[in-house]
Homo-oligomer: A and B are copies of this chain.
Amino acid sequence: MSETHDPAGHNAFDDLARDAVYQAIFGRRDVRSQFSTAPLDDAVLARLLNAAHHAPSVGYMQPWNFIIIRDMARRQAMRELFLAARQQELPQIETERRALYAKLKLEGICESAVNICVTCDRNRSRNSPLGRWHNPQMDLYSTVCAVQNFWLAARAEGIGVGWVSIVDTPALQRLLGMPDHVVPIAYLCVGPVHGFANKPDLERVGWGTRLSLADLIMSDCFGGEGEAELKQIAKTLSG
């Protein structure tokens, strides 16, 4: 690859390759309703899992496992957990938004080709918790990095991914038979899709809008002003 994009002349991807990475980042969607009935090829799924497996991990701990859930009875049981959890969450939403919340499609558990639960085995540091003695949650964060790798690789492969977080965690642990030292990080609906939406669903339906990046930048300390030039450039960018 050419190295024309790094100011120091090292290691940057060429234009097309760099733009492809941004295209995956900007074009990734949390897919709920656009799964097709096509199967997911094992060769593609293996590549996505390999992408996840190449995430950074604290102390090279690689704490993740990938539970591939195809059995429809188990998926229906998961969907029951989701439905119950959504009913419990609804009263926590502010009153004027509950009608909108109730209409939202928030999962594709039974429509997607497969479900995948990405878990974190908290014992895998084997007595050498490099980088997580002060911050023991770092293994959870490593596992999230694996999820995001999976998600971006899936976008490049044309495969949709939706993360279902509305679920009672102990109930999910029981459903999938996890031991106590293993926690579920992400329950994903995964499979071919009819298409990817141009915007996040929650933006399209008016639940929220994208914040201004410039407003999220701070200088040297929390709330610190400055970085005028960086903020000015940030205002010119879109996704």
Residues of B within 8 A of A8 (CB): 36, 38, 158, 192-193
Contact B23 A157 (CB under 8 A): no
Q: Give which listed residue, B10, B64, B67, B153, contacts A193 with CB less than 8 A.
A: B10
Q: Would you call B152 and A152 a contact (CB within 8 A)?
A: yes
- Give the CA-CA distance A230 to B144 in the complex, in Å: 22
Q: Number of A residues contacting the other chain (C-beta, 8 Å)?
A: 135
Q: Which parts of A144-197 form the interface with B (CB within 8 Å)?
A: 144-145, 147-149, 151-153, 155-159, 163, 165-169, 176-179, 182, 185-186, 192-196
Are B50 and A234 touching (Cβ within 8 A)?
yes
Select the residue from A42, A141, A152, A195 with max chain B CB neighbours within 10 A.
A141
Contact A25 B195, beta carbon cutoff 8 Å: no
- The answer on a CB contact under 8 Å between B230 and A68 is yes
Chain A 128-146 interface mask (CB, 8 Å, partner B; 1/0): 1111111101101100110
Sample (6) of A-B pairs whose CB atoms are under 8 Å apart: A11-B193, A16-B17, A17-B17, A66-B216, A67-B224, A145-B151
Check B70 against A51 for contact (C-beta < 8 Å): no
Which A183-239 residues sit within 8 Å CB-CB of chain B? Answer: 185-186, 192-196, 200, 202-203, 207-208, 210-211, 213, 216-224, 227, 229-230, 233-234, 237, 239
A-side residues, CB < 8 A to B, are: 1, 3, 5-8, 10-13, 16-26, 28, 30, 36, 38-47, 49-51, 53-56, 58-62, 64-71, 74, 85, 88-89, 92-94, 97, 101, 104, 106, 119, 126-135, 137-138, 140-141, 144-145, 147-149, 151-153, 155-159, 163, 165-169, 176-179, 182, 185-186, 192-196, 200, 202-203, 207-208, 210-211, 213, 216-224, 227, 229-230, 233-234, 237, 239
On whether the beta carbons of B21 and A156 are closer than 8 Å, the reply is yes
Within 8 Å by CB of A23, from B13, B137, B152, B218, lies: B13
Q: Quote the shortest CB–CB distance from A194 to chain B (angstroms).
A: 6
Complex interface: chain B residues within 8 A of A178 (CB): 222
